Amino acid sequence: MEFCFSLFLLLISFPVILAQEDVVQANIVVVAATAVGEVDSKFICATIDWWPHDKCNYNQCPWGYTSAMNLNLSHPLLAKAIQAFKPLRIRIGGSLQDRVLYGVESLKAPCHPFQRRKDGLFGFSRGCLKMSRWDQLNQFFSTTGAVVTFGLNALSGRHRNNKGVWEGDWESTNAYDFIKYTISKGYQIDSWEFGNELSGSGVGARVSADQYGKDLINLKKIIDELYKNSNLKPSLVAPGGFYEHNWFSKLLDVTGSNVVNTITHHIYNLGAGNDPNLVSRILNPYHLNKIAGTFIDLEQTMKVHGPWASAWVGESGGAYNSGGRDVSNTFVDSFWYLDQLGMASKYNTKVYCRQTLIGGNYGLLDRTTFVPNPDYYSALLWHQLMGDGVLAVGSDASPYLRAYAHCSKGRAGITLLLINLRNQTEFIVNVKNSLNLAVHGNTIREQSSFMHGVKRTIAWVGQKASDGPLYREEYHLTPHNGYLRSKIMVLNGVPLEITEDGNIPKLNPVLVKENSLVSVSPHSIKFVVFPNFDAPGCA
């Protein structure tokens, strides 16, 4: 509380200057002394779903052949898009996950793909993953360096009661033999996830927290048994559903410590994919802020009931039911997506899985051409620039200027993400280091040793003298031709397109003198890398 009051005093001591109606100066203070959170080095994650080509919403069928069952793994752009992350975490899962059979030798049922069926869960029959396809997928993952999280069928053996709850113990035989086959082939699975959207009220199906916890204890024993001779044992991830306080608390209480390593929850905070208000919600900071309550409550729940576990967003596509056509795959979606990455990081979310890598309207890649959509480049820039350490940021700006800071990835200094949701306002940003600001009573002033540099935009601590100018890197993202629903993202004035030799383009910065003001034009996004910013919290 004392820190917040001091930071407030600090901010109001700097004048907010209106140079003209649509140019506003804002002050941002990066609290550099300590990190307030930490994300996993493989924070960026994307999903591959199970939906077949005839999965349709709103008179459209946006999935094509992008299922784990039939995705074209030989397409060169698919491999290159994944390899660019070095590595990318991929989660295989989705609504039909709990209807997947594994075509191991012991399977007694026929191994057929999903088929349309009116009385089936989500309108489909059970589907079977052939081991020949599983071999192909793992060869692909090995080639691309992907880190794999695989979602297991958690409804096997259960029956649905008249209240809509699926009862009975989980039948683990098919999953046991599948995991055993995976180990025998030497396939590296980073984590096994149990179930998809069965928590709380569920989506299509639900299981009680008591039963779910009991089954997780059983699955943990299976993993321990099958991997007892392995050098690397996968972690156990659950429940892969929407957060409900009482259900999640109960699950952690039932399982106890050393069972579930990671708690995953899903987010679709923009509404239905056909909602005409999608764009206005994306650009509304007050709507974006609503989901913070979920992050805060989950973080507190885990401190009380499961301090041994970490939190992931296991699936998030913004708009549900396959995403918004001509919204989720366009530039405007990056305002929501990057804001989500920044917000999730603030609340100690270790991994954030985007729905999807490919498939639906929200794919990072186009489902037919495999060409990256704008959010792909947003994800790649985040992955390349934003390090594990999360820093607190104070701002006196309008809520339409969103600001997030991390330690820079793989080097000294910090990286600042600035998101301008305004369509006619340019923000001129004055960035300060909290180490150079002192509170004396009700007065905020710069430390005396830096009074000579009071006009400098960035105040540095421990900066060695330099004969030449110092620079920062800027990555300015704008929509092609100013059209928010463009499928082409522009970086520093250059459209991001596949190169002539068929490669993902390099994401090059422009160099700017570090003591100049940071400008963020209307409806744009900017990553700013300050290599000389003194941040003890990043040491």
Q: Which residues contact 533 (CB under 8 A, 6 or more apart)?
A: 30, 32, 413, 414, 433, 458, 460
Q: For residue 39, what is the DSSP state?
A: -
Nearest-angstrom CA–CA distance, 514 and 532: 9
Catalytic annotation present for 315: yes
Cα–Cα distance, 222 to 210 (Å, whole number): 19
Give the burial string for 461-481 (b: 16+ CB within 10 Å, else e): eeeeeeeeeebbbbbbbbbbe
HSE of 288, CA atoms in CB hemisphere, 13 A: 24
Task: Give one DSSP letter per residue of 271-289, joined into a string.
Answer: EETT-TTHHHHHT-HHHHH
Classified as helix, coil or strand, 405 is strand
Q: Which of 333, 332, 209 is nearest to 268 (CA)?
A: 333
Q: Where are the beta strands (DSSP E) in 84-234?
A: 89-92, 100-103, 127-130, 147-152, 159-160, 166-167, 191-194
Catalytic residue among 193, 197, 474, 514: 197
Report d(CA 25, CA 82) in Å as an integer. Answer: 39
Look up residue 331 and give its DSSP letter: T
What value does the CA radius of gyration of the chain take, rounded to a whole number of Å? 24
Q: Which of 193, 244, 315, 514 is catalytic?
A: 315
Task: Give long-range contacts, CB 8 A cutoff, 24+ apart: 216-223.
Answer: 216/251, 216/255, 216/259, 216/260, 217/255, 217/259, 218/169, 218/170, 218/172, 219/152, 219/170, 219/172, 219/175, 219/192, 219/194, 220/258, 220/259, 220/260, 222/172, 222/175, 222/176, 222/179, 223/179, 223/192
Q: How far apart are CA 58 and CA 56, in angstroms?
A: 7
Among the listed residues 409, 406, 413, 402, the one whose alpha carbon sits nearest the alpha carbon of residue 525: 402
Dihedral of CA 366/369/373/379: which sign? Answer: positive
State the amino acid at position 157 in one-letter form. G
Residue type for position 405: A
Alpha helices in 306-373 (DSSP H): 333-346
Q: With CA atoms as reference, report the closest residue to 205 among 270, 273, 154, 272.
A: 154
The conformational region for residue 14 under phi > 0 = left, psi -120 to 50 = alpha, else beta, is beta
Catalytic: 197?
Answer: yes
Residues with catalytic roles = 197, 315
